[in-house]
């Protein structure tokens, strides 16, 4: 969350940054050389971004050791980012597919961090926000990413203010997918073929 919740960044900047991370296997394939064509074609049909709703963790699921309200905002903007990315590339992955890691954690040195009843209540609130973000952005709201931010006219869930947050410049290494997921493939002659004497079948090398 420290690589997301930059307070003085716009929602667009934060969610674009999230997309670079959440979609990076697909983006790398789309911007790769012709040698990754098989992976590229497979990922364009099947890729499912995996976001995090696991709370609270210092490691393992990313650093989500922040308040439940911050977590609700984080999952709202994750949903926004995934939905917005999908709308920029009709007929290509991730389409209407998304996934969240859900692993509530109330263990500190082998003991409950807070009262189990209080923790159960807080996780229920987070789960309700997650369900609402998905429902409003995918089923309602005209299929718009804005539904992830709250009810129409109320976008309070798409804000952020995480102490010492800063975008990770390494996420940009994946690059940005070309429009509609189309990438330029390297030109050149087809791979040479030879005959395997054991099978008498041609194969590329």
Query: What pLDDT does residue 190 have?
Result: 40
CA dist 94 and 154 (Å) reads 27
For residue 60, CA distances in Å to 65, 87, 127, 152 come to: 11, 30, 19, 35
Phi, psi for 27 (deg, rounded to 5): -65, -40
Q: Which of 112-116, 129-133, 189-193 has the lowest mean pLDDT?
A: 189-193
Q: What confidence score (pLDDT) does residue 50 get?
A: 97
pLDDT in tens, 167-200: 999 888 776 544 444 444 444 444 444 444 443 4
Span 10-18, average pLDDT: 96
Instruction: Check residue 132 and give its pLDDT.
Output: 95
For residues 196 and 91, the model is more confident at: 91
Q: Is the pLDDT of residue 111 over 90?
A: yes
Helices 68-87, 11-22: axis angle to 10 degrees equals 80
**Residue 136: pLDDT band with limits 50, 70, 90:** very high
What pLDDT is attached to residue 140? 64
Distances (CA, A) of 150 to 20, 32, 46, 61, 81: 23, 37, 29, 25, 14
pLDDT of res. 172 = 86
Q: Give dist(CA 54, CA 116) in Å, integer.
A: 16
pLDDT in tens, 37-85: 999 999 999 999 999 999 999 999 999 999 999 999 999 999 999 999 9
The reported pLDDT for the residue numbered 175 is: 63
pLDDT exceeds cutoff 80 at 30: yes
3-class secondary structure per residue, 180-197: HHCCCCCCCCCCCEEEEC
């Amino acid at each position: 969350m420290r690589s997301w919740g930059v307070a003085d960044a716009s929602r667009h900047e934060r969610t674009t940054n999230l997309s670079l991370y959440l979609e990076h296997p697909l983006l790398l394939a789309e911007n790769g050389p012709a040698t990754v064509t098989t992976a590229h074609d497979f990922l364009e049909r099947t890729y499912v971004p995996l976001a995090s709703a696991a709370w609270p963790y210092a490691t393992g699921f990313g650093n989500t050791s922040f308040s439940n309200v911050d977590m609700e905002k984080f999952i709202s903007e994750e949903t926004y980012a995934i939905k917005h990315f999908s709308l920029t590339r009709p007929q290509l992955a991730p389409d209407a597919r998304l996934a969240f890691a859900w692993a509530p954690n109330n263990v500190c040195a082998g003991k409950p961090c807070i009262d189990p009843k209080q923790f159960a209540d807080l996780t229920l609130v987070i789960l309700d926000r997650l369900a609402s973000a998905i429902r409003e952005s995918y089923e309602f709201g005209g299929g718009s990413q804005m539904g992830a931010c709250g009810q129409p006219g109320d976008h309070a869930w798409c804000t952020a203010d995480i102490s010492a947050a800063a975008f990770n410049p390494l996420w940009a290494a994946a690059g940005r997918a070309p429009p509609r997921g189309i990438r330029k493939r390297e030109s050149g002659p087809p791979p040479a073929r030879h005959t395997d004497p054991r099978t008498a079948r041609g194969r590329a090398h």
